[in-house]
Amino acid sequence: MALILAIESSCDDTSAAVLENDCVLSNMIAGQKVHEMYGGVVPELASRAHQENIVPVVDAALRSAGVKTTDLDAIAFTGGPGLLGSLLVGVSFAKSMAWALGCPMMAVNHLEAHVLAHFLQQPGQRKEVPAFPYLCLLVSGGHTQILKVCGPFQFETLGTTIDDAAGETIDKAAKIMGLPYPGGPVIDRLAKTGNPKAFRLAKPRIPDLNYSFSGLKTSFLYLVRDHLAENPDFIAENQADLCACIQQAVIDTLLDKLIKAAEQHRIKDIAIGGGVSANSLLRSRIEACGREYGWRTFLPPFSYTTDNAAMVGMAGYFKWLQKDFCPLDTVPYTRQGR
Ligand code: KG4
Ligand code: ZN
């Protein structure tokens, strides 16, 4: 039995969780409203907010789980990729605490944590988990990848974006329409009453299982710019349709390659992860694909779609089982390849 404290601070959410093995006892997240007025995450402000939040968030996670620091067996933290100033807060805090308690630490890769979130369990209930190898469509603000997950830390990248990420594309479309940051949840909500066929957008044509979203983004920008030249109220009058069109174009593109990957690799356990996996159209379309292609689908609960420490704790627990601990001189890294 392992009681693990997990810490996530890679971007603009400060989060702490307590896990008993794979079971989540608590998962606290402090978001940062300060970035809304800038239309995107301001790294300097993010690290300052992490500094303010980290102690209260860890304290709340421990209290909610009914666990004392001296009960902890290990500490897991996000080592990267992410913003350096943000990561430094969580990594330094975790290292100091592990050193003070004399317990081992596990440095977790943020993307691996998103992928492994499907193994998290809640107290008193066991749910089905994917069987290896499974496919995971990882879609967030910074990443868009199709991964073949052969084991907890054995991934094969089958496809990746060659330019913008799916979440980034949606956020940029929201910015073009003057909608608040992050645009994903807003577009999701507004698109519900819009017509996804109202406007034509350029469809990416990229070979293999890779993605490209920059052409779609430019096509959306030109569409809005050209119509605005004729009608200054174009955005306000067509907001729902514009949201439905960009959302549909992104989701169609994501699914097209995911279906190909599943066919080529003959895999029927299909998972999604990352912030964009909260999108209601993506979720319903994945379930529809499940019925059509006989997939067993795994959609993370909403609280585990965007950044959270529970998923870091899950990856940390897999490392604990492998005794894959990290030394005290571990430093954060900003990019996936380090
Ligand atoms: O995984 P995440 O919290 O942070 C990164 O690691 O990037 O993902 C954030 C991204 C943002 O682009 C946000 O707009 C998007 O996830 N997002 C959504 C929805 N909720 C969050 N995109 C579409 N629909 C949503 N409901
Ligand atoms: Zn993330």
Task: Determine the distance separating the centroid of ligand 2 and the alpha carbon of 10, expressed in angstroms.
Answer: 8
Which pTM does this prediction carry?
A: 0.93
Measured from CB, residues less than 6 Å from any atom of ligand 1 are 11, 140-142, 167, 170-171, 182-185, 188, 274-276, 278-279, 306-307
Amino acid identity of residue 205, one-letter, is: R
Task: Determine the distance separating the centroid of ligand 2 and the alpha carbon of 270, expressed in angstroms.
Answer: 19
Which residue of 139, 169, 306 sits with most ligand 1 atoms within 8 Å of its CB, as the best mutation to test the pocket? 306
Nearest ligand, CA 311: 2
Residue where the block lists tokens 């993307």: 111
For atom 16 of ligand 1, the residue with the nearest CA is: 275
Would you state the pLDDT for residue 296?
A: 98
For atom 8 of ligand 1, the residue with the nearest CA is: 275
- Among left, alpha and beta (phi > 0; psi -120 to 50; other), residue 78 is beta
Tens digit of each residue's pLDDT (9 = 90 or more) over 36-93: 777 778 888 889 999 999 999 999 999 999 999 999 999 999 999 999 999 999 999 9
Would you state the pLDDT for residue 87?
A: 98
Ranges in the chain, pLDDT < 50: 338
Task: Determine the distance separating the centroid of ligand 2 and the alpha carbon of 176, expressed in angstroms.
Answer: 23
3-state helix vs strand vs coil in the chain, percent to 5: 50, 20, 30
Would you state the pLDDT for residue 337?
A: 59
Rounded CA separation 211/116 (Å): 22
The upper half-sphere exposure of residue 103, i.e. CA atoms within 13 Å in the direction of its Cβ, equals 19
Q: Kindly give the residue spans of alpha helices, DSSP state H, lying in the chain.
A: 43-65, 84-101, 110-116, 166-176, 183-191, 214-230, 234-265, 280-293, 309-321
Task: Determine the distance separating the centroid of ligand 2 and the alpha carbon of 112, expressed in angstroms.
Answer: 10
For atom 13 of ligand 1, the residue with the nearest CA is: 184
Per the CB < 8 A criterion, the answer to whether 48 and 30 are in contact is no
Nearest ligand, CA 113: 2
Contacts of 146 (CB under 8 A, 6+ apart): 135, 136, 137, 138, 157, 158, 159, 160, 209, 257, 258, 261
| Atom of ligand 1 lying closest to residue 166 CA | 12
Rounded CA separation 282/197 (Å): 17
Per the CB < 8 A criterion, the answer to whether 177 and 224 are in contact is yes
Residue where the block lists tokens 């989060």: 15
For atom 3 of ligand 1, the residue with the nearest CA is: 306
Would you state the pLDDT for residue 48?
A: 93
Task: Determine the distance separating the centroid of ligand 1 and the alpha carbon of 281, expressed in angstroms.
Answer: 14
Residue where the block lists tokens 């290292």: 95
> What long-range pairs does 290-298 form, CB within 8 A, spacing at least 24?
293/259, 293/262, 293/268, 294/268, 295/262, 295/268, 295/269, 295/270, 296/128, 296/130, 296/268, 296/269, 296/270, 297/270, 297/271, 298/118, 298/128, 298/129, 298/130, 298/134, 298/269, 298/270, 298/271, 298/272
Task: Determine the distance separating the centroid of ligand 1 and the alpha carbon of 167, expressed in angstroms.
Answer: 5
Rounded CA separation 331/338 (Å): 11
Would you state the pLDDT for residue 32?
A: 78
Which residue of 111, 164, 170, 276 sits with most ligand 1 atoms within 8 Å of its CB, as the best mutation to test the pocket? 276
